[in-house]
Structure 1
Amino acid sequence: MRQIVLDTETTGLDWRNGDRVIEIGCVELLNRSLTGRHYHVYINPGRSIDAEAVAVHGITEEFLADKPKFADIVAEFEDFVRDAELVIHNASFDVGFLDCELDLLGRGKLAALCAGVVDTLKMAKEQNPGKKASLDALCDRYEVDNAHRELHGALLDAELLAEVYLAMTRGQESLMIGLEDEVPMPESDAGGAPVVRPALKVLRATEDELKAHAEVLDAIAKANKGVCLWLPPAEQASPAA
C-alpha cells in the first residue's frame, strides 16, 4: 500500500479569495514504512502573501521571486502522488488549494489522480473527543519530537505528520499477527521431558443413532420431492413414497 503524507503552505487562508499554494511537501510510505523518498518544492504564486501567513511559515515574496510557477511543477507533482492514498492534516484545506491550482490549469482534481484521502485531524478528533488535535498537540501526545519546529514548513510538517499517523494507527498493523506464521507444537515441556500426547478417542454412532439419522434424511428427502443432498442417488426417496 503506497501512501503520501502531504502538507502545503499558502499565501492566505482561502483559495476562493485568490490565495495560492507556495510550498508543497510530501513523504512516501510503503506498507506503513517510510521509504526515504520525498517531494518538496517552493512555488512563486504571482501575487502577494498575507502578513499573517508570513508570520506562520516565514516565506516571503522576495524568497519566492525566482521560484517556479505551479504550471512548471504540476507534472512532477502529479507523478509523485499518482495512485497513492493521501494522508493530510485538515485535508479539506490542502485539497481545496491543490484542486484550485489544478483546475486553473485545466487538469483533473486529486480525487481522480489519487486513491483517496485520510484526514488525520478528523481521525484525531474521533479517537480523542474534546482534546486538542493540532499537529503540535498530536506530536506531544504520541511523543514525536517536534522541538525543531519553530515555523510551519510543508516538508517538515509532512515528516512530523507521517510519524504521528503511524503512531495513531499502530494497532492496525497487528491485526494480521499470527495469521501468517505457523506456531510450532512443543516437543517437550518446560522441564525438558517429552510431551506425551494421548491418543484421540473416536466415538462411533450406535445402531439406534444410525437408525434415527437415516429416518431424518428420509424425511428430508420426502419433503424435498425425493431429493436429499446427504443421501447417495440410489438411496433418494421416491416423490410418491
Structure 2
Amino acid sequence: MREVVLDTETTGFEPETGDRIVEIGAVELFNHVATGKTYHQYINPERSMPQGAFEVHGLGDDFLRDKPVFASVADDFLAFIGESRLVIHNASFDVKFLNAELKWAGRPLLPKDCAIDTLEIARRKFPGSPASLDALCRRFNIDNGARTLHGALLDSEILAEVYLELIGGKQPDLVLSPVRQSGNDGATDDDWRPTRRPTPLPSRLSDAEKAAHAAFVANLGDSALWSR
C-alpha cells in the first residue's frame, strides 16, 4: 500500500483572496515504511510575499522570483502522488490550496476524500490535548530539533514519523518487507493472495495423545459440547 505524506507552505490562509502555494514537500511510504523517495519544490507565487511571511517560511521575493510557477510543475507533482492516499496534518487547508492551484493550472482536482487527516486522528486519540505537529513530536519523543524554520519537506518527514505513531507505531500491520518485489511474471506483492495448501500438513498428534484426549472427552459425559 503506497501513501504520500505531504505538506505545503503558502503566502497566507485563503486562495480565494489571492494567497498561493510557495513550497510543496512530500515523502513516500510503502506499507507504512518510508522508502526514501521524496518530492520537493519551491514555487513562484506570482505575487509579493506579505509582510510577516518571511519569518514563517524563511522565503522571500528574491528567493522565489526565479522558481517555477505551479502550472509548470503540476504534472510532475501529480505524477509523484499518483492515486495514492495522501497523509496531511490539517488536510482541508492543504487540499484547499492544492485544488485552487490545480484549477488555475487547468488540471484535474483532488477528490475530497484523498487524504488522511492526522490532525483529526490526534484529536480523536487525545481529546483536549494540543494536536499541533510540534506537540505531537513532544508526545512521541520525535526529534524535531532541525525545525528552526518551517519547511514543507522537513515537516512532511516529521509528519511521517508522527503518523506512524498515531496508527500504532512503525509497521503496524506487521508487513516486514517495505519494497515491492516482482516475479518473472511481473506480479508484485500487491497481487499476492493466500491459497489452500496442495497437500495438507500431517497431524502432529501421537496415538497416545489421541487416546488420552478421547478418554478425557468420555469422562465429560453426554452433555459435553464435544460429545454432541
Q: Deviations over 1:28-87 (max 9, x none)?
A: 000000000000000001101122322211111110011001111000000000110000
Q: Distance in 1 between matches of 2:173 and 2:7?
A: 29
| Structure number with bigger Rg | 1
CA, structure 1 residues 176+59, in 2 after alignment: closer, same or farther (shift >3 Å)? closer
Note if contact 2:7-2:88 (Cα within 8 Å) is conserved in structure 1.
Answer: yes
2:134 paired residue number? 136
1:120 is aligned to 118
Q: CA deviation at 1:106?
A: 1.9
Which secondary structure does the structure 2 equivalent of 1:170 belong to?
A: coil
2:157 is the alignment partner of 1:159? yes
Ranked by relative contact order (alpha carbons within 8 Å, sequence separation 6 or more), the top structure is: 2
2:25 aligns with 25
2:214 pairs with 1:201: yes
The equivalent residue for 2:68 is 68
- Identify the residue that residue 99 of structure 1 maps to in structure 2: 99
Distance in 2, Cα, partners of 1:50 & 1:62: 13
Q: Unaligned stretches of 5+ in structure 2?
A: 176-193, 195-203, 219-228
Matched AA of 2:42: Y
Provide the rounded CA distance (Å) in 2 between the counterparts of 1:102 and 1:131.
Answer: 35
The structural deviation recorded for 1:171 is 5.9
Report Cα offsets for 1:116-150 as digits up to 9, x if no partner.
21000111011001100000000000111001101
Please give the TM-score of this superposition, normalised by the length of structure 2: 0.76
Tell me which residue corresponds to 1:44.
44
SS of the counterpart of 1:51?
coil
TM-score (norm 1): 0.72
Pairwise CA RMSD of aligned residues?
2.9
- Given that 2:70 and 2:105 are in contact with CA atoms closer than 8 Å, whether structure 1 keeps it comes out as no
- 1:152 positional shift: 0.7
After superposition, the C-alpha distances for 1:160-190 in whole angstroms (9 at most, x for unaligned) are 000000011126955679xx9xxxxxx9xxx
**1: distance between equivalents of 2:42 and 2:123?**
31
Answer yes or no: is 1:9 the counterpart of 2:12. Answer: no
Determine the C-alpha separation between the residues in 1 that align with 2:170 and 2:34.
16
Change (3 A) 1:174 1:80: closer
Identical aligned residues as a percent: 50
Q: Which stretch of the first structure deviates more once superposed, 66-75 or 51-60?
A: 51-60
The 4+ residue runs of structure 1 with deviation greater than 6 A are none
| Residue 37 to residue 171, structure 1, CA distance change in 2 (3 Å) | closer
Contact 2:7 2:152 in 1 (8 A): yes
Amino acid at match of 1:201: A
**Residue of structure 1 in register with 2:77 after alignment:** 77
1:100: how far off? Answer: 0.1
